[in-house]
Structure formats: C-alpha cells, structure tokens
Structure 1
C-alpha cells in the first residue's frame, strides 16, 4: 500500500508540474487572480483539417466563483482588434459581454494571451424566433453605440474591397490545389464550377459595392454566427452574449446582417430584419427596409466569401473532401443570394 501511495503522490506531483508548465497557465498566473491553478486544461475548440487557428484553451476552476476561463493566444497584429474591443469599447456599451480578466504579453512569440469569461448559457439557434429577435436588437445597439470609441480605436476598415480580397484568395487557393490526388472527379468538377461562380461574382462586384450604401458606418462584429453566441438570463430577461471578436471592424455593417437559406451552413445568425429595422428607427436611424434587405444580401455574399476562403485551406491536406463538402454548402448559399438579388440568372 505504501508503494502505491508513493506512486500516487509522485503522479500527482508530476501532473501539477506539467500543469504549471503549460504556457496558458503560466500566463494566467502572472495576472495574480485569486485562483491560480486550474483543475484541468481543455482545448477550447474542436480542430478540423480545414482550420488554421490560434491556440485556445479552457482553464477550469480559476474564474469568478470557480467558473472556467478562456485563454486565447493572439499574434500582436492579428489580435489587435479583439484586444481593443475588450479593453476600450465593450466597457462603454450597453450590451452583455464576457468578463475580461486581462492580458499577458508573450515575450517568446511576440504575441499575447487574452483571458476571458467562458460564456455559459443556452446555445443560439436560428430556428428559435426569440433568439433571432435578441440578435436583431443586439445588432441594432451595436451599430448605433460607441461609434466615437470605435473610430479612435482604428479598427480594420469594413468595406466591400475587404471581401473581394477574400474572393481572390479563395479562388487562387482552389486553383493551386484542385489537383490534390485525394480528390475524386466529382469534387474536382465542383471546384471548377465554384471557380466559375467566383469569376462571375467578381465581374459584377461593382453592383455589390453600390448595394452596400445606405447605412452609416458602424462597429461590426464580423463573425456573427450561432457558434459565437449564447443566450443567458440578464437583469431584464433573456440576453444575448457575443464573443470571438477577432473579425471586428468599423464600416459597412452588412456582414452582421447576413441571412442564410441553408440550415446546414451555419454561416450566420440570421437576425430578424424587421426587428432590427424597428430598433434602428427607435434610435433615430432613418433606414428603409429595402436598404436593410439589400445590405443583408451583401452580407450573405461576404460571409460566403470568408467561409470559402477559410475552407480552401483544407484543400492542401490529405483529406480535402471535408473542405469540398463545406464549400458545397457555402456555394449553395452564394448561388441563392445572387439569384434573389437579381444579379445572376
């Protein structure tokens, strides 16, 4: 029994040493919060072959009341917008937001660790009318609040040209990797069709730019989809909480208003546009319904461009079929919105 006890003690000590050596835990301890050692460290996201992403961990037992904390590593440049959002902008806004625990510079990499509340609550569903209504109200407040702070923060410029760059990068990546030997003929044929659709969209891009006019520049979340939203109890009833502000920007708010006709795509939250219009009007924003609908169509195109570009990384792997499957959904969304807008037959 003594030997077994010693082995157990040694194992516990080894585990603690490994825990304390974890880069996210080392950074967390520098902040000096009350609870310094997590119960365990879990990956913060599920990885797929098509994804290229920064380290993200869930530190259990160290937050307020022992709640989990998200540790997110960011590059100095790539994470600048998210850092500004949590440090300078969200504190000024009348919106539910994750608690910000602080930031620790990572001298080795030149990046930094962000520490945020792990947002618990009901998962957002585009099939629940209440959720879509909450999303619409939340966006209307976002798009009309803290504008001066957003301007001072010098966030990335949100305009159609940003998404045209996504289109071109996605197309170039598809053309470079469509000869992947793991692809079958049907998948290669689909990629050829997708390249043709992207060519067609680029040819009419001027019409997309014209359609993006009609709303003042606003703070834009940029990745407003169900995976980045939770619904929890607030002071005045159910409240929406949004996180993952890495794509935030300032400019045309079309991308936040995106709509999708395909439940499988998961591209966007599909906020209720009628409620969005109503709240915007209540906040002295003169906006016509057709303008909002037109912006939402542009936003759906922009979301599809970003998603196709992101998925195209998967064509470089040994399992490109996963990326092709995703791109089929995004292409279907793209085709539907282009027809609905009357820009293609």
Structure 2
C-alpha cells in the first residue's frame, strides 16, 4: 500500500544524472567524485587520487571515478613442457585471500621438482546464438535446413567485420517455432565475445534480408542472443562442446617429492579424490574440481581479462590416479575464456603482467591458456594434499570467542587515554592532551606483529607512532610516542600454528600438540608487567614508558613509550651486524648484565608473572617436535643446516633430558629471551653508550647466558674467533658479578647456545619457509660456529 506515493514521488522528481558522462578527463573524474560525495555524504579520501589516466579508458569503462587496488603476489616458478608454454613461468596472482599465493607456490614447487607440467590446447572457439521465431513449426524446420547451406555466404559477412574471427560452424537448434543458431568461431588471440557479437549481428542482418523475400520464411521475431551460447554462465553444452579455450595440463608426482613438498602420499590424495568425486556427484557438481577458479580469477584480475567470465571458465575436470607408486594428476578446463589482445589487456599494468607471463600481444593465446591451466593444476594438487594431510583446517583456524568484544579502535587511542598517562609520567597534574596526530613513519618491524596482522583485522594491533600535543600550567608542548597495542597470546599461537600447518608432515602433526609451550603463551600480559616493574636496573634499559593500559574485557593491552630518536644507534639492525663495533657490543653486554644481576635469586617472584616457565621435563617430552622441526629445516633449507650440522643438532635434541636438567641447576634470572638487534639499540649520551632493550613479550626465567648466546649469534660473523667469544663471556660474567667460576659460566653459555639453536633457530627456519628472514642464513652459520667453539672448549678446558 506504500508503493504508490513513493512511485508518484519518483515521477515528480527528476532522475539524477551523473556529471561528465562520456568524458574521459581528470576534470570529469573529479566532477563525478564531487557529485558522489555530495549525494552519499561520504568523505571518500581514498578516491582523491587515481592511478589510471582517464584517456586510456574509452572502451573499457564508463563514468570513471577511481580505482580499486588489488595486491598482486608471485607464485612459482613452475616448469612447463607444453605445446605452447615451455620453460619456467612465474605467475602474478591478484588476490586478497591469505595463503592462496603460498598454496599455489607450494604446488608449483612440487610439480617442478617432479619434472614439470605438460600442457596442451585442445581447441579454441567462441559462440554466439541468435534466435529466430517463425509462424509455425514447418517454417522453423525449413529455416534450420536452409541456414546450414549458407555457411559460405555467412563467412563473407563475418570477414567484413573482423579479420580475427573465423566462422567454423553454423549449428541450428530448433525449439518449437524458434530456431537458435549457434555461430561457432575461432577468434585467434582475442577472447572474442564482443568481436563475435558484431560479426554475428552482421550475419543476421544478411539472413533477415534474404528471408524477407522468401515466401513463408520471414521470421516473426529475432534477437541477437537468447541464452543458448552460455555467455558468462556455466552450461553443460559448453562443457561438452567448448566455449573459449579447451586446455589440459598433466603432471606426475613421485612419492618422494609428494611427501617432501606437499607432505602427503599418493594413496592419501587418491583416497580423498575418490570420496570427493562421489560427494561432488551427490551435490550436483558439474565436472570435478577443487579450487581452479581461485587461480583463474587471480590471473584474470592481474591481466585484464573479463572478470565475469570466471563463472564459465572456472569449471574443471580434475582427476588423479596412482600408478607404480607415483601420483598422476590431470586438469581439463573445457571453457577458458581469455584474450591477450583488446579489452582490459590494453591497460598498462595488466599489459605488464601479461609480459611477465610472456603472453603480451598476438600469437600468445595458446601459451596463456596453458599457463593458467598449469597453475590451476598446481593449486588443485596443493589444496587436495593439504586436506588429505590435515593442514587445510589448521591453516584456517580462528580464535573462538564466547562473547561479542568491543575491540579497541584508533579513536580509543586518543586524548582520554594518553592524557592521564602523560600527566603522571611528566609529573604534571592537570596536563591536558589537546590533539593526537598519527605519524606515518615506520617504527620498525616485529615478527609477532607480522604474524598477527591477519588474525583479527577488526581490532587495532601493532606498533603505532603518534604525536600528542598538550597544554599545562599556561604552557604547551608536544611529545612523540609509540603505542604498542598487543595481540592476545592465542592469536599469535594460532598464526604460528598456521605456519606449521603449511610446512606439513610431522611439523604439522606435532606442532598443535605443543604450541602453547613454544614461548608465546602469556605474551600479551608479560610485557606490560615488565614495563610496570619498579626495578631500577630494568627501567634503566627500557625505553621511557609513559604508561600502560589494560582492559581484558576489550582485549586491550597497550604500552605508551618514547619514540626513539636520533640519539639512538643501531635501531632494528638485525640485517646489518657490521654496524656493531666492539665498543657497541660491550655496552649492550654490560647493560643486559645489570638486569641479570638484579634478578638473580628471585626465581619465585619471577615465576609469579612470567608463567609458564619451561622445564626439563616438558622439554624432554617435546623432543618429538624439536626433531620434526630439525627434519623440516634440514630438508627445506639444506643451505642453513648442512648434513653434519643437522646431525650435531640431532644429538643435542636427543640429549635434552641430561643438559636441560643441568640448566635448571644453574643460577637463573630474568632474561629478555629475544635479545638481538631486532629488539635492542644503543643510546648515545655524550661519549657514553647505554643499552635500550624493547619487545620483552618473550621474557622468561632462564640462565643469564641465554641472552648473551642470542646476541652473539646475531652480531658476530660466521668466522668468529674463540678469543673474541671468551672475552665477551668474561665481560658478561664479571658484569653480572655472581661469582661463578669461569668453567661453570662457560658451561652455562654452551647449554644456552644449544637451547637457542633448538627452541629458536629451528622455529625461525619454520617461519623462513613461508616468510623469508634475511638474517637467518648468517645467524644459523654463526650459531653453528659458536657451538663448535664451545664443543672444543669443553673437550680442552
């Protein structure tokens, strides 16, 4: 009953018209953006600047207002031994789906190591199907017989429109008084939808002219398309007869490669495949496929294809079988609609990505189709192996919450929170923060921040630099701060477990069992406790803290600290150990030694806020995980762990029950437990240098030598000499001042090195599989060198 007044109102109000219609200029774009802001009341700051020249868009877009950027990742390389595609190919994938690029890359690696993918274009065609309606069945049948005799005439009409389209068949399909005529073309390097529409329209004009003078055959109605072609839709007819390119790809994975790279077996993949075929039939699936559309869509976006054609292009026929212990996998894409000329391929970035594939311009349509099919096969295999190996669910795990959380937002990190902190820290009662400006500068990297960057995007976490303006007692000022907004420990645990699941094999199987004991539990509260602690020796090495904010109900854990300035040296210098001179290294050792000295003998107090603390009993139970991580590192990164080094670490892991009990007997203290140039710097005051240590989330109870071992592994070169190590050990021992004899202190350093190698270096190697750590090759080499030095010292005390 309410529709009539509304309809009347619409009739009385002029229909809105967009400004700048048909104009391809920056002025027209800005006019359209201004109109959009006015009508929607939205600020739209991200649309202010656009990166595509409007003059390049006629024929591709109307009413141009801005762009949407889709990140592009590289997958591969994948080795092709096909008819058109040959050699190593790296594919650009435009996507926002986490783990897609990594999964495609994993499949590409397995196929390449097993000998590559064979690819073959089977056929290429494009269809358009006009409909002619007649007065009766007889006239329709007579027309159907007549049209197949006129192909030569129709060829000439098509040639008048397009030199690239070749009419290969005219197929009439009579449905009562209507005849749908399937015009089947080959379109060379173009996708051909628009081209064949124009050619078919010209042919239909000729047909209608001829029929008009043929008694009883004049159609009563005509349309250029009535859905028989299946344009941008899945149809069984196109599955059988093809529309676009019909292309196939095949590979054979030997058992060893399948196990090493995809962490599964031929039998496990084959078993899952057979279940999935039956389930697909029950669900009414067309063909059989896992997720080829993921690759097809990602390459389509990157290379300027018609995105809607993913619907018909994404249907596949995927199959596997086991033969003589190997796994053979085949993928057929029966209707892949692509083009390497025309349309969106003319845009500059899309053209560049086609160039990456070696597919830009005429003559490359077959190569392009084979590349898409090969990479789609790689993803199908990778995903199926992940499901068969139990990695798929692990890689998609999320933290369950029993209630709705009002997460901290940027607006919460403003004056109401920072005002009381600054007033207390600056000893200025009544101080008022008048403005908070977010700074763009990069405050440094954090592996834990990166780990959790995709875990819960609706909440603010990370290291956020701000400038707070304030007034107090008649004056004003401003202070630069870094707000460290911490994720929950379980968010980090889950993201680390996802990395483990992508490694597959025993790592994927065992990591979930022990993931709460790999050092991350409690990290969201532990660092806040560090910054609250009154111990002068600890506060002397921390960045100046202005306050902490903790609200468990909102999952809010915030530290407000100074933003380190130009008086600080070697900030985030893990990739530049050459910057650390001997005097710098000594200053760092003395600084952390003062903290170690202050907390020696305070084990019970430390346990109260550092829990959980690792034990010899638990480390012994976890040997299966450490062994699995070692196997993975040695297999995936032999350049990091040569065979002899892997054997040495294997013996260290086997002996954990003995040497970890010894670690528990040695004097222990508060240790940073992540004490390396990623998390420390030096402050210059005149000619003096003092330590600044931050990122204490992994702090724990351990022998003081644990921090020294990690520092030396990061800063010393892989050819470090025994005398240099001894000198720094002596400096640390004397600075801690515990009175341990030199031999016992060195024993503690040896065991701390072993602990670092097992519990941290091997975890770094796991991360390195998915996220390159530039510092790791050097740190691994130095760690092995330090272990060799301590082994020699123990044999010849």
Tell me, yes or no, whether TM beats 0.5.
yes
| Equivalent residue for 2:486, pick from 54, 61, 73 | 73
Contact 2:464 2:484 in 1 (8 A): yes
In structure 2, the partner of 1:122 is 569
SS at match of 2:683: strand
Contact 1:220 1:249 in 2 (8 A): yes
Q: How many residue pairs were aligned?
A: 320
In structure 2, the partner of 1:52 is 451
Larger radius of gyration: 2
1:130-145 equivalence runs, <5 A: 130-145=583-598
In structure 2, the partner of 1:311 is 765
Contact 1:151 1:250 in 2 (8 A): no
1:126-205 equivalence runs, <5 A: 127-146=580-599, 151-153=604-606, 154=608, 155-156=610-611, 157=613, 168-173=624-629, 187=638, 196-205=647-656
Structure 2: how far apart are the matches of 1:249 and 1:275? 22
Give, in angstroms, the shift of residue 218 of structure 1: 1.2
In structure 2, the partner of 1:228 is 679
Q: Does 1:294 align with 2:700?
A: no
Unaligned runs of 5+ in 1: none
Relative to structure 1, the CA distance from residue 301 to residue 38 in structure 2 (aligned partners, 3 Å threshold; closer, same or farther) is farther
Relative to structure 1, the CA distance from residue 112 to residue 289 in structure 2 (aligned partners, 3 Å threshold; closer, same or farther) is same
Relative to structure 1, the CA distance from residue 205 to residue 249 in structure 2 (aligned partners, 3 Å threshold; closer, same or farther) is same
SS at match of 2:717: coil
Structure 1: how far apart are the matches of 2:537 and 2:756? 28
Give, in angstroms, the shift of residue 71 of structure 1: 2.3
SS at match of 1:263: coil
Give, in angstroms, the shift of residue 202 of structure 1: 1.2
In structure 2, the partner of 1:340 is 789
Relative to structure 1, the CA distance from residue 338 to residue 274 in structure 2 (aligned partners, 3 Å threshold; closer, same or farther) is closer
Relative to structure 1, the CA distance from residue 23 to residue 43 in structure 2 (aligned partners, 3 Å threshold; closer, same or farther) is farther
In structure 1, the partner of 2:437 is 38
Contact 1:58 1:118 in 2 (8 A): no
Deviations 1:190-232 (A, max 9, x none): 6877764442221222453366377522111111112222211
SS at match of 2:531: helix
Deviations 1:113-169 (A, max 9, x none): 222222330117674122222122222211121558774352133656677688754
In structure 1, the partner of 2:669 is 218
Deviations 1:218-263 (A, max 9, x none): 1111111122222113499321111111111123223112133853
Contact 1:74 1:114 in 2 (8 A): no
Give, in angstroms, the shift of residue 40 of structure 1: 2.3
| Equivalent residue for 2:527, pick from 69, 72, 82 | 82
SS at match of 1:32: helix
SS at match of 2:757: helix
| Equivalent residue for 2:733, pick from 250, 267, 277 | 277
Give, in angstroms, the shift of residue 313 of structure 1: 2.9
Relative to structure 1, the CA distance from residue 79 to residue 214 in structure 2 (aligned partners, 3 Å threshold; closer, same or farther) is same
Contact 1:194 1:331 in 2 (8 A): no
Structure 1: how far apart are the matches of 2:437 and 2:541? 26
Give, in angstroms, the shift of residue 175 of structure 1: 5.2
Structure 1: how far apart are the matches of 2:762 and 2:776? 6
Structure 2: how far apart are the matches of 1:137 and 1:109? 39
Q: Which fold has the larger relative contact order, with Cα–Cα distance below 8 Å and residues 6 or more apart in sequence?
A: 1
SS at match of 2:590: helix
Contact 2:673 2:700 in 1 (8 A): yes
Comparing 239-248 and 161-170, the one that deviates more:
161-170
SS at match of 1:62: strand
Structure 2: how far apart are the matches of 1:294 and 1:213? 13
Structure 1: how far apart are the matches of 2:640 and 2:731? 41
Structure 1: how far apart are the matches of 2:655 and 2:465? 47
| Equivalent residue for 2:412, pick from 22, 26, 41 | 26
The alignment's TM-score, normalised by the length of structure 2, stands at 0.34
Relative to structure 1, the CA distance from residue 119 to residue 311 in structure 2 (aligned partners, 3 Å threshold; closer, same or farther) is farther
SS at match of 1:143: helix
Structure 1: how far apart are the matches of 2:448 and 2:703? 32
In structure 2, the partner of 1:103 is 548
Relative to structure 1, the CA distance from residue 195 to residue 65 in structure 2 (aligned partners, 3 Å threshold; closer, same or farther) is same
